[in-house]
Amino acid sequence: MAVPRNRVARFLTDSRPQPEPVLHSLSNFYREEFIKCQRCLDAQREYYSERTITEMERALTRVMAQIDRLCATPEADKVVSHLLRQFDTVARLSAWSDPRQIH
C-alpha cells in the first residue's frame, strides 16, 4: 500500500504547471533581440551622452527582467515589437543588420 501513497504524493508535488515551450521560445527570441540592442548600444557608446547610455541600459535591464511576463500576455508580439522599435530608434540595430540575412 505504500507504493500508491508515493505515487499520489509525487503527483501532488510535481503537478505545478510547467511553462509552455512556445512561451519559453518566444521569451528567448525576444531576449536575444534585446541583447542585440544592448550590444549595438555598447558599440556606439562614444556617440551618446552618458545619461542616454544609462537610461537605455536601465530600460533594457527592466524589459529583459520582465520579458517572460510580457510574453505571457495576449498581445505579446505587439507590445514587445513596439518596445524593440523604440530601442531600435536609439541603438539603430536595424541599420547594422545585413539585408541578405533578413527572412
* Residue 14 located in a structural domain: no
* Residue 82 located in a structural domain: yes
pTM of the model: 0.65
* Residue 59 located in a structural domain: yes
Placement of cell 540595430 in the chain: 93
* Residue 2 located in a structural domain: no
Torsion of CA 80, 82, 87, 93, to 10 degrees: 90
Domain that holds residue 45: 26-92
Q: How many CA atoms lie within 13 A of 9 on its CB side?
A: 6
C-alpha cell at 19: 511553462
Comparing CA positions, the residue from 91, 84, 83 lying closest to residue 39 is 91
User: Rg (Cα) of the chain, in Å, rounded?
Assistant: 20
* Residue 20 located in a structural domain: no
Number of domains in the chain: 1
* Residue 37 located in a structural domain: yes
pLDDT tens for residues 28-63? Answer: 999 999 998 888 888 888 988 999 889 999 999 999
pLDDT tens for residues 20-32? Answer: 555 678 899 999 9
Please answer whether residues 84 and 37 qualify as being in contact, where contact means their C-beta atoms are separated by less than 8 angstroms. Answer: yes
